[in-house]
Amino acid sequence: MKMKLFFYISSLILLTCFSACKRPAYPPVMQQAEKLMNTRPDSALHILEGMADSLAMLSDEARMYYHLLTIQAKDKQYITHTDDSLINRIVSFYEDYGDKGRLMLAYFYQGSTYRDMNDAPRALKAFQQAVDLKVPNLDLLAKTYNQMGTLFMYQGLHDEVIRVNRKAIELYLLQGKRNKISYFLRDIARMYDIKEEKDSASYYYKEACQTALADGDSARYYGIWGELGGFYYKTGNIDEAKQILKQAELSTYIRNKSHIYSTLGNLYNELQIWDSVYFYKTKVLEIGSIDKVYNSYIELAKLESRKRKHQETNYYLNKAIELSDSILYLTQTEAIAKINSLYNYQHTEEENANLKIKQERQQNKNLVFLLILFGVIVFTRIIFLHLKKKSQEELRVARILKEMEEDKYNYSLAAIKENEKKIQELANTQKIRDNQNEHLQRELSLLQKEIMELRNREILRVNDDKEERIATFQRSSLHDLLQRAASNDKINLTEENWSRIQSTLDFVYPYFRKHLRELYPQLSALEEQVCWLIKLSIHPAGIARIVKRSNSAISNIRSRLHKKIHKVSGNGEMFDEFIRNL
C-alpha cells in the first residue's frame, strides 16, 4: 500500500512539473475562480460569468479551460447540463492539445453532461476514458468511479457497481479520506442485497454504519442505519428491524422518514398490530414518494376491509387507482429514457437509419405502455377479487354459524321453555275464546298448543337419543382404545381405527363432520383428526399422544383453526368450546 501511494505521489509531482512548464498563465480572476471551485462554486461561477466579455483576449487554451471551469462550477451547484456541444468541443481540443490532466477533467464533465441528459452508455464511455488516461489524480479518479457506480446501478449491472465502488473506496483510503467511503460501502451492500447474498449485504451495511459513526457524521449514520433496519425486515429479522427502525424514527437527522414509516407499517402488519399499521401507513401519505403512497393506500384498503368498512375500503382503493396513472407515466418515462440513451449511443453516426430507429422507439414505447397498463389493471383486479372473495367467505361462515346456532337453540331446553310459555299463552287464549263462543278460533288455539307440545316431545326425544348415542359410545371398545392411547403414546392407531372413529362420529353426532367441512373445506387430515378427538372429549395432552405430536403443536393447531374459522384470534380452549358445541 505504501509503495503504491509513493508511486501515485511521485507521478503526480512529475506530471505537475511537466504541465506547469507547458500551460500558459491565466488571468488573476480566472485563477481566483479556480481556487474557489471546491469550497465556493457559486462565487467561482459568478467570477467566471463576470469575465465573459474579455474571452476574446485569451489564448485558445485559456478559453477552453475557462469553459471547462464554467461547466465544473455549474455541475458542483447541481445545475443540470442540457447540451453536449460545448463539452464535446472542449474534449476534442484537449485530445489534440496533449494535456492529460485537463483531458481527464474534460472527460469527467463530458460524462456528467451525458448523465444529466439520461444517456448512460455515452456517460459511461466518457468516464471510462477518464480512468484509462491513468492520470494520478486520486480524488478525481475516486469521483469518476463513484459516477460510474451510479450509472451501472441505473443499468442494473450489479457486479460492476460493486467493482467500481471498491475502486473508489481504495482511492479514498489512499488519500486518508475514510470519511468519504460510507456511502460507497452502503451501495455495495445494496447490490449484494439485490443479488440475494445476505451475509455480504449485512457486512457492508454494518461497515457503512460504523464508518459514518466513527467520522461523527450523524446524518449519514442514521440514514444508513434506517436502511439497515429495512434490510433486516426483508431478511426476516423482525426484532432487530423493529429496534433499529424505532431508533431511526426518533432521529432528527433524517429529513424524510417515509421509507421508515412504510417499513414499520409492513412490520406491524406481519405482527397483526393493526392500529400501528394504520398509524404508520397514514404517515406515509403525508411525505412518501408516489410508489410508497400507492402501497399505503392498498394496505389501508385491506385494513378497512378487515373491519368491514366498505366505504373506507373503496375510498382507499380509488386513491390507489388514481395514483396508478402517475406511476404508469413515471415508469414509462424511465423506460423511454433508457431506450433513448441506448439509441443515441449506438446509432449517432447512422443518420440514414433514423426513420427506422424512430419507428422502433415508438413501438417500444407503445409496448412498454401497454405492458405497464396491463400490469396495473391485472394488479388492481387481483386486489379487488381478493377482497371480494374474502368478504364473501366471511359472510358464508357467518351464515353457517348463525344457522347452526339456531339449530342448536331449536333443540335446547331454552326452546322447550319458550314453547311452554307459548302453550300457556294459547291456553289462556283458549279460555277467553271459550267465553266468547269463538268455535273456530278455539280449535285453532288447541291445534297450535298440540303442535308446541309435540315439538317439545320431539326436542326431548332428540336429546334423549343423543345422550343414548353418547352412552353407547362410552361403553364401546373404541372408547376404551382412545382412552388408553390418550394416556400411552406407545399405542398407535391404525387406518381401521380411524375409520371406526369416523363412523362413530357420524353415529353419535350425525351433522358434525358435515358442518365442520362447510365452515372450512381446506382442513388437513391432521387438523380433521384433532377436531374429531376434541368432539369425542379427548383432552389436548391425550390428543398429542394419539396423533404423535407435541403439546405445543396441538395448541398451535387449535389456535390456528379458531382463527381460520372465526377470522379472529383465539386460544385453544375457545376452539375446544366451539367444537364441543358444534
Phi-psi region of 488 (alpha: psi -120 to 50; beta: other; left: phi over 0): beta
Provide the Cα torsion 15, 18, 21, 23; round to 10°.
Answer: -50
Q: What is the pLDDT of residue 293?
A: 85
Question: Residue 91: what pLDDT?
Answer: 92
Lookup: cell for 373: 397498463
Residue pair 460/434 in contact (Cβ under 8 Å)? The answer is no
Q: Is the pLDDT confidence value at 569 over 70?
A: yes
- Domain boundary residue among 136, 167, 187? 136
Q: What percent of the chain has pLDDT over 70?
A: 76
- Residue 87: the pLDDT is 92
pLDDT of amino acid 71: 92
- Number of H-type helices and E-type strands within the chain: 27, 0
Q: Is 109:64 a contact under the CB 8 Å cutoff? A: no
Measured CA distances, 151 to 197, 227, 285 (Å): 22, 21, 30
Q: DSSP letters of 527-576? A: HHHHHHHHHTT--HHHHHHHHT--HHHHHHHHHHHHHHHHSS---HHHHH
pLDDT per residue as tens digits for the range 164-178: 999 999 999 998 888
> What mean pLDDT comes out for the span 291-312?
83
**492-502: average pLDDT:** 88
Does residue 20 sit in the same domain as residue 110? Answer: yes
CA-wise closest residue to 491 among 503, 483, 479, 502: 483
Taking 3-state DSSP, the helix, strand and coil percentages for the chain, each rounded to the nearest 5, stand at 85, 0, 15
The position carrying cell 456511502 is 183
The CATH number of residue 56's host domain is 1.25.40
Is the pLDDT at 323 greater than 80, yes or no? Answer: no
pLDDT band, residue 478 (cuts 50/70/90): confident
Supply the pLDDT for residue 511: 79
CA distance 379 to 571: 35
Residues 461 and 551 in one domain: no
Q: Band of the pLDDT at 110, cuts 50, 70, 90?
A: very high
- pLDDT tens for each residue of 182-236: 889 999 999 999 989 999 999 999 999 999 888 888 888 888 888 888 898 898 8
Q: Is residue 328 part of a domain?
A: no
Q: Let me know if residue 212 belongs to a domain.
A: no
The whole model's pTM is what? 0.51
Question: What is the tally of structural domains in the chain?
Answer: 3
| Residue 245: other Cβ atoms inside 10 A | 24
Amino acid 85: pLDDT: 92
DSSP type of residue 442: H
pLDDT score for 295: 86
pLDDT the model gives residue 312: 82
Q: Quick one: 10 and 130 in the same domain?
A: yes
Question: Could you say which of 119, 136, 153 is where a domain stops?
Answer: 136
Residue where one domain finishes, among candidates 475, 495, 529: 475
41 domain-assigned: yes
Residue 309 has pLDDT above 70, yes or no: yes
Q: What is the pLDDT of residues 376-409, one digit of tens each?
A: 787 777 877 777 666 666 666 666 665 555 555 5
Q: Are 33 and 73 in contact (CB under 8 A)?
A: yes
Find out whether 331 and 379 touch, Cβ atoms under 8 Å: no
Is residue 454 predicted with pLDDT exceeding 90? no
CA trace torsion 533, 535, 536, 540 (10° rounding): 50
Q: Please check whether residue 201 lies inside any domain of the structure.
A: no
Q: What residues contact 483, with CB distance under 8 A and at least 6 apart?
A: 542
Q: Binning pLDDT at 50, 70 and 90, where does residue 349 land?
A: very low
CA distance 122 to 338: 12
State the cell numbers at 27: 488571468
Q: Are 168 and 184 in contact (CB under 8 A)?
A: yes
pLDDT for residue 462: 55
Average pLDDT value over all residues in the chain: 79
Per the CB < 8 A criterion, the answer to whether 572 and 559 are in contact is yes
Cα dihedral across residues 369, 370, 371, 374: positive or negative: positive
435 and 421 in a common domain: yes
Domain hosting residue 422, numbered range? 411-475
Assess contact for 130 and 94: CB atoms under 8 A.
no
Whether residue 454 is found in the same domain as residue 496? no
Mean per-residue pLDDT, 28-33 = 88
- Domain-located, residue 510: yes
Which pLDDT score, from 0 to 100, does residue 345 have? 43
Task: Judge contact between 299 and 277, C-beta under 8 A.
Answer: yes
Residue 296 has pLDDT above 80, yes or no: yes
